[in-house]
Amino acid sequence: MGPIILSSTEDATNSDILQGTRLQTVPAGGVLTFELQSTANNTNANIAVSVQMPNGDTPLNSVRVPSSNPSLAGVIDERQNLTVSFPIMQGGHCVFSAVETGAATLSWRVTYTPA
């Protein structure tokens, strides 16, 4: 089995981004890598994300996502984005959520790499 790569944008709060995707249930043990970027990160407009692992751990809990050029919605700039990786076991459901404040768009990519 090879990697699974998902990506999209979120223009509103979403409590379970991976629900209904190929990563709703992890097919085998491996690593999940999250690459995140917002169009805004200030008091009036930002995106905060949380990740809850299948065992209940929350390695990201309402973490504000760094911003890039707002005219580049959908672009993830590796010089400015937030990238984190977490080990995950087979069969678990990782809850990845985003809360929007004001007008901001989240660009995200999640990569599953089997162990």
pLDDT in tens, 28-87: 999 999 999 999 999 999 999 999 999 999 999 999 999 987 677 788 989 899 999 999
Q: Alpha-carbon distance 29 to 24, whole Å?
A: 14
Query: What is the rounded radius of gyration, in angstroms, for the C-alpha atoms of the chain?
Result: 14
Please check the confidence at residue 15 and state whether its pLDDT lies above 70.
Answer: yes
Q: What are 60's strand-pairing partners?
A: 51
The residues, any chain, with a CB within 8 Å of residue 67's CB and separated by 6 or more, are: 37, 38, 39, 40, 41, 42, 46, 80, 104
DSSP assigned state of 18? T
Quick: pLDDT tens for 67-77.
987 677 788 98
Helices (H), 1-115: none
E strand or H helix at 112: strand 106-114
H or E element, residue 95: strand 95-101
CB atoms within 10 A of CB 104: 25
pTM confidence score: 0.94
Residue tagged 């984190």 (tokens)? 84
